[in-house]
Amino acid sequence: MIQMPLIALYNYDNTILDGLQALNRTELDPALEYVQNIPELSTNELHELLLAEIGEMTVFYSKPDLLKSMITTWAKAERPNWIKLWQTSLYRYNPIWNKDGSYTETRSGSTSGNGSTTYGRTDTENVTGFDTNNFSPSSQNVAGGTDRSTSGGTYSETLTRKESGNIGLVTTQQMLREERESALFNIYDYIIEAFKKRFCLMIY
């Protein structure tokens, strides 16, 4: 089998890379929070960078139609992973904070109470007879009973607090170094490197 460099096959058929398309902003997860200015990726730029980087390298497939088909299938399968990786470079966050969030605590319960009061009263009316000076009861009224009362109810409260900043587990300088490393990530470079490992003979 004749082995040929990628650029030679591309010059023969410049559609072999058509299945490899740049990522689009509409593919990002809308539920996540991103930086304000999301870059617009270009398919033409991706192809040009790829050819400039590995155009002289020999590819596994020497037939343009077969190579085109393999590239299309591979790119389709890898695209969801590329989107996730691209998203990680676009998240909005404070690079020198390692804690940022709100915490909500809800408390609820109930109270109850009851009591009773017993009362009584006796009213006696006394009179004297016509032949004595001693009092004798002529009538008696007795009243009484029990009063009962019940009290109580339910309650709930919500406590919310916000915590953010550096809680001291990692120094600000360490976080800045990691931020510089994150800034070096380039989705074009990642895709090109993945293409090289998948389709090119790693012989220099």
What is the separation of C-alpha 113 from the centre of its chain, rounded to a whole number of angstroms? 44
pTM reported for the whole predicted model: 0.63
| Nearest CA among 203, 201, 202 for reference residue 1 | 201
pLDDT of residue 35: 84
pLDDT of residue 8: 94
- Sites in the chain below the pLDDT cut of 70: 1, 93-103, 105, 107-153, 155, 159, 161-170, 172, 175, 204
pLDDT of residue 64: 93
pLDDT of residue 167: 62
Per the CB < 8 A criterion, the answer to whether 47 and 20 are in contact is yes
Per the CB < 8 A criterion, the answer to whether 32 and 87 are in contact is yes
Q: What gap in Å lies between CA 119 and CA 50, rounded to an integer?
A: 99
Residues near 201 by beta carbon (within 8 Å), at least 6 away in sequence:
3, 57, 58, 59, 60
Tens digit of each residue's pLDDT (9 = 90 or more) over 7-16: 999 999 999 9
pLDDT of residue 146: 63
Tens digit of each residue's pLDDT (9 = 90 or more) over 173-195: 776 787 777 778 899 999 999 99
pLDDT of residue 34: 85
| Nearest CA among 151, 141, 83, 161 for reference residue 116 | 151
| Nearest CA among 65, 53, 48 for reference residue 12 | 65
Q: What gap in Å lies between CA 195 and CA 39, rounded to an integer?
A: 22
